[in-house]
Amino acid sequence: MEDSSVFPDITAKPTDKDLAEKLDSKYELWKQIHDMVLSKYPNGLAEWNYPGKKYGWFFRIKDKKRAIIYLLPRNQYFKVAFVFGDKAVNEIMKSKISNDIKTEISQATKYAEGRGIRIDVIDDSIIFDIEQLIDIKLNN
């Protein structure tokens, strides 16, 4: 699967219609995760962001200081991304989250802002883990 935004043009901020076209059947999963975050954190600021041509447009939901979740649109699927500090990483390791995610986060490079993880969303089998990650992010 190609790992670059399907929205590379800075002059064309994506619309819901554009997103639905590119994600196809995965659009409902995008909306489910988007709505889940905002139901858990109603004051979340949801916005499109364009950091540069290399990355294209991506969507994030943040609080006043930090991003809660990133949603990265790809062709007929998307990725969710998180950054976790040490306390959250420890909580993830004790949780019922899948061992694949635990391994990935334990092997992620540690930066000042924490450890980052990206998860492909290709079906609803990952929703439980994503919800747990959202809860951990909001509580740390």
Q: How many domains does the chain have?
A: 1
pLDDT at residue 53 greater than cutoff 90: no
pLDDT at residue 65 greater than cutoff 60: yes
Residue 137 CB contacts under 8 Å (≥ 6 apart), including other chains: 68, 69, 82, 84, 88
User: Within a domain: residue 133?
Assistant: yes
pLDDT, average across residues 113-125: 95
Report the alpha-carbon angle 53-58-63, nearest 5.
130
User: Within a domain: residue 38?
Assistant: yes
pLDDT at residue 74 greater than cutoff 60: yes
What is the domain-level CATH number for residue 98? Answer: 3.90.1150.200
- Render pLDDT for 120-134 as a digit per residue (tens, 0 to 9): 999 999 999 999 999
Domain of residue 44 covers 16-139
- Give the number of other CB atoms < 10 A from CB of residue 111: 9
pTM: 0.93
